[in-house]
């Protein structure tokens, strides 16, 4: 890490005292909050075009542990040099600077001369700019990928908030969700009001794909064969498949091999019943059980192994759970 990252590291790790305790030169900090949950403040650098070799103006957001903001007035920042990531050093006290709260356009700037802890809805400042960036990015993503549940959280951070660490970015997402701006999933996020919604033509193709996989039973055609019958671009074919996978209607069992959810559930029941009666099953027995072929029997057994329904013991499988 070069001095380029100095501000982000220092503000994230050591700003609690500087922001809460005031400073020299007449600059004052916010009164330390009495709630233990707000006893620490994280500084999040909003500026992304950081450089070395010359002074620069940096935009910073101050966020408490319970996702409130430090707003209005001024605060004194004290900097220290911590070395590089591959050569850490003992902190060396450096310069200090006084920061002034800058409300974004349309924000009430009459919050007073002293810093205070506010709800995000009271004084936006940097948060408002970040919110607008998230909303615009997600709106573009939803227009381009209307069948996807949302944009990957880490993808958003790397594309738009590269200066934020994972914990700082999590604070931002939590505040946005509490404000009703976004809906956060396990690995993705979307605008709060967005839901994947196929149009009429897409719904017809999705129903057709499901029908083909249901009819294929234990020996379905490959995805390549199914896709060849869809009169849309390769990109849209991929989006249709992605939608069926994310909604759980189709299950990927092997390379280019997909089964309908209902068929997979039937396989689970058949194999579990067989193992309860016989204790173990081979690939050949699986093939006969499904009246299929090894081409399909083996990938299905490997899928059940991954799902911890079965466990391989030599050339056989035994039941792990029903």
Domains, the chain, ordered by start: 3-120 (no CATH), 127-191 (1.10.10.10), 200-319 (1.10.10.10)
* 107 close to 68: Cβ distance less than 8 angstroms: no
Query: What whole-number percentage of the chain has pLDDT above 70?
Result: 80
Q: What is the pLDDT of residues 129-138, one digit of tens each?
A: 788 899 999 9
pLDDT given for residue 123 in this prediction: 58
Angstrom CA distances, 109 to 20, 71, 98, 217, stand at 21, 10, 18, 65
CA dihedral 230→235→238→242, nearest 10 degrees, is -130
Can you tell me the distance from the alpha carbon of 3 to that of 53, in angstroms, rounded to the nearest whole number? 9
In 10 A of CB 290, how many CB atoms? 19
Can you tell me the distance from the alpha carbon of 33 to that of 21, in angstroms, rounded to the nearest whole number? 11
Q: What is the pLDDT of residues 138-168, one digit of tens each?
A: 999 999 999 999 999 999 999 988 877 788 8
Q: How confident is the model at residue 18 (pLDDT cuts 50, 70, 90)?
A: very low
Q: What is the pLDDT of residues 61-76, one digit of tens each?
A: 888 888 788 888 888 8
The stretch 248-277 carries a mean pLDDT of 96
Q: How confident is the model at residue 289 (pLDDT cuts 50, 70, 90)?
A: very high
pLDDT given for residue 27 in this prediction: 35
pLDDT given for residue 48 in this prediction: 59
Alpha carbon distance, N-terminus to C-terminus of the chain: 51
């Amino acid at each position: 890490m070069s001095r380029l990252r100095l501000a982000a590291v220092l503000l994230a790790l050591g700003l609690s005292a500087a922001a809460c305790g005031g400073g020299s030169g007449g600059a004052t900090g916010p009164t330390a909050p009495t709630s233990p949950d707000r006893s620490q403040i994280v500084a999040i650098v909003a500026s992304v075009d950081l450089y070395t070799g010359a002074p620069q103006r940096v935009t910073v957001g101050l966020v408490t542990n319970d996702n409130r903001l430090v707003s209005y007035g001024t605060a004194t920042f004290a900097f220290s040099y911590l070395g590089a990531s591959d050569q850490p050093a003992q902190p060396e006290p450096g310069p200090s600077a006084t920061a002034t709260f800058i409300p974004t356009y349309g924000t009430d700037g009459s919050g007073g001369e002293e810093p205070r802890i506010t709800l995000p809805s009271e004084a936006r400042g940097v948060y408002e700019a970040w919110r607008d960036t998230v909303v615009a990015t997600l709106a573009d993503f939803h227009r381009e990928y209307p069948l996807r549940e949302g944009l990957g959280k880490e993808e958003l951070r790397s594309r738009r908030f590269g200066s934020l660490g994972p914990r700082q970015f999590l604070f931002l997402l939590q505040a946005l969700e509490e404000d009703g701006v976004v809906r956060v999933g396990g690995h993705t996020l979307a605008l709060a009001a967005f839901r994947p919604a196929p149009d009429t033509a897409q719904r017809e193709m999705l129903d057709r794909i499901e029908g083909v996989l249901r009819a294929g039973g234990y020996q379905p055609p490959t995805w390549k064969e199914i896709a060849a019958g869809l009169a849309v671009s390769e990109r849209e074919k991929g989006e249709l498949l992605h939608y069926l996978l994310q909604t759980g209607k189709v299950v990927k069992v092997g390379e280019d091999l997909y089964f309908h959810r209902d068929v997979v559930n039937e396989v689970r029941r058949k194999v579990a019943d067989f193992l309860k009666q016989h204790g173990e099953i081979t690939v050949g027995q699986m093939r006969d059980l499904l009246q299929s072929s090894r081409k399909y029997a083996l990938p299905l057994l490997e899928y059940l192994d991954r799902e911890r329904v079965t466990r391989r013991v030599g050339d056989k499988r035994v039941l792990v759970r029903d």
